[in-house]
């Protein structure tokens, strides 16, 4: 493992972790939401998408809340960490990616995704920001010095489009979605056990190098 001081100074490391605190907290919150999804889907759907706004849970809950709540909570939760991730990449440049490799290890899902997207981003970065503004994409947008105005516009437009498509799918297939929700609610305990297993697998898959 390389010397961290060669990547970022102590002050830069502190700044890095201040910026990453919210995105990291939201990622941990998503794990909790995934485990509790069977209970929250019907009882507190707004709370569920506030915790984990993944597409399956957005579709599952689209008919369980007012339209304004779906779009407002979904949009805020999906975009909340993105400016901070852009800022990390913009402020620290390629050193941010190298530092993540050092901190998380090359086996981490985030570092693997960043490395996989890195060579394509200079050519089709705008497309990625619009279609898939996840943690690695937002970080790379900053690293490649994409203007924040462009990043924010593409991010917001892509997120709004994604939510609209999911909303339409949920409305068109309301019957099947309702039956899935009833199934999940009826078998909450086994579903929760499965979710715990998936989360454990995800955490192990994102483990750092030894």
Residue 3: pLDDT band (50, 70, 90) is: very low
Residue 162 to residues 71, 73, 148, 154, Cα–Cα distance (Å): 10, 14, 21, 12
Record the pTM.
0.87
Which tens digit of pLDDT belongs to each residue from 156-176?
Answer: 999 999 999 999 999 999 999
DSSP 8-state code for residue 100: H
Percent of the chain with pLDDT strictly greater than 90: 65
Residues 47 and 78: their CA atoms lie apart, in Å, by 14
Evaluate whether 192 touches 88 at the Cβ level (below 8 Å).
Answer: no
Which tens digit of pLDDT belongs to each residue from 138-152?
Answer: 999 999 999 999 999
Residues 105 and 109: their CA atoms lie apart, in Å, by 9
Residue 32's nearest CA partner among 57, 46, 51 is 51
* pLDDT tops 60 at residue 205: yes
pLDDT of 12: 86
pLDDT of 68: 97
Residues 188 and 183: their CA atoms lie apart, in Å, by 8
pLDDT of 208: 46
Q: Which of 4-18, 68-82, 103-117, 183-197 has the lowest mean pLDDT?
A: 103-117
C-alpha count within 13 angstroms, C-beta hemisphere, residue 184: 23
* pLDDT tops 90 at residue 110: no
Average the pLDDT over 121-148 and give the result: 92
Residue 207: pLDDT band (50, 70, 90) is: low
* pLDDT tops 70 at residue 105: no
> Is 52 exposed, middle or buried, given 0-12, 13-18 or 19+ CB atoms closer than 10 A?
buried
């Amino acid at each position: 493992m390389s010397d961290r001081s060669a990547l970022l100074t102590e002050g830069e490391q502190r700044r890095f972790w201040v910026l990453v605190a919210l995105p990291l907290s939201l990622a941990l919150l998503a794990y909790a939401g995934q485990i509790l999804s069977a209970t929250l889907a019907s009882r507190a759907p707004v709370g569920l998408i506030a915790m984990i706004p993944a597409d399956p849970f957005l579709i599952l809950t689209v008919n369980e809340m007012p339209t304004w709540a779906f779009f407002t909570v979904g949009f805020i939760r999906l975009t909340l960490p993105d400016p901070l991730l852009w800022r990390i990449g913009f402020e620290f440049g390629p050193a941010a990616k190298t530092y993540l490799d050092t901190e998380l290890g090359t086996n981490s899902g985030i570092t693997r995704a960043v490395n996989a997207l890195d060579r394509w981003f200079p050519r089709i970065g705008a497309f990625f920001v619009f279609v898939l503004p996840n943690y690695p994409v937002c970080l790379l947008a900053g690293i490649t010095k994409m203007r924040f105005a462009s990043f924010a516009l593409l991010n917001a437009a892509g997120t709004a489009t994604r939510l609209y498509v999911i909303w339409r799918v949920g409305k068109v297939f309301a019957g099947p979605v309702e039956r899935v929700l009833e199934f999940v609610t009826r078998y909450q305990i086994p579903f929760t056990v499965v979710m715990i297993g998936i989360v454990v697998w995800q955490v192990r898959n994102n483990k750092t190098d030894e």
